[in-house]
Every structure is written in structure tokens, then in C-alpha cells.
Amino acid sequence: QKEVEQDPGPLSVPEGAIVSLNCTYSNSAFQYFMWYRQYSRKGPELLMYTYSSGNKEDGRFTAQVDKSSKYISLFIRDSQPSDSATYLCAMSEPGGFKTIFGAGTRLFVKA
């Protein structure tokens, strides 16, 4: 079983839609939860991180962590064509230096 499961998509939505991206995980030791965005031919770029459970909002982006269900989500409001990219969830243990990545979900936002 993979430590982190993420639906690779692709996910195609119209401009302005609310996008929901999700990951599940199996390692209960994970405490740091991150979302990266990766454009084609570029490296991943950290979007948001959350420590333990709860919500975090940054502009049009909201990250949610439910540790009891081992489930994390990223919501994108008012999606724009420029949001078209691959979104990777990522996790790490406290004091850990390595990040465990999901497979990434390809998102297409159509104008």
C-alpha cells in the first residue's frame, strides 16, 4: 500500500468553478501536510502547508486536514485558467527532512 494516495485525474473544470483536490494517507505519524503546484517542465512550488489538523486559507486556496480520517483536501475558489497545473499533496513526520509526495492531480481550467 502506498503511503499517500492521490487520484491523478485529469480533472477538467470551467473557469470560476470550485475545485476540490484530495489525498489519503496511511502513516499516522505525518504531522506536516503540504500542497505543491507544478507547471509543465518546472519544479514543484510550495503553495500551502498545514500543521496537524485544521484549516488554512490563503486567498483563493483553502487547505484542510482531517487526521482522524487521514484525509487532506485543497480547495480552489474562482478557478482561473492560470491554475491549470499538477497539484501534489505532500507530507512529512515531525523532525523529518524527507517529504512523501502523492502522485499529483492534473487540473485543467477551461476559459
Partner 1 sequence: EAGVTQFPSHSVIEKGQTVTLRCDPISGHDNLYWYRRVMGKEIKFLLHFVKESKQDESGMPNNRFLAERTGGTYSTLKVQPAELEDSGVYFCASSQEGGPVYGYTFGSGTRLTVV
- Contact residues for partner 1 (CB under 8 A)? 2, 4, 32, 34, 41-46, 49, 51, 88, 90, 92, 95-104
**Secondary structure class of 101 (helix, strand, coil):** strand
Shortest gap between Cβ of 37 and partner 1 (angstroms)? 11
Which of 84, 92 has the CB closer to partner 1? Answer: 92
Integer angstrom CA distances of residue 13 from 41, 77, 79: 22, 12, 8
Query: Which of 14, 29, 36, 52 lies closest to 101 in space, CA to CA?
Result: 36
Which of 13, 56 has the CB closer to partner 1? Answer: 56
Which of 14, 95 has the CB closer to partner 1? Answer: 95
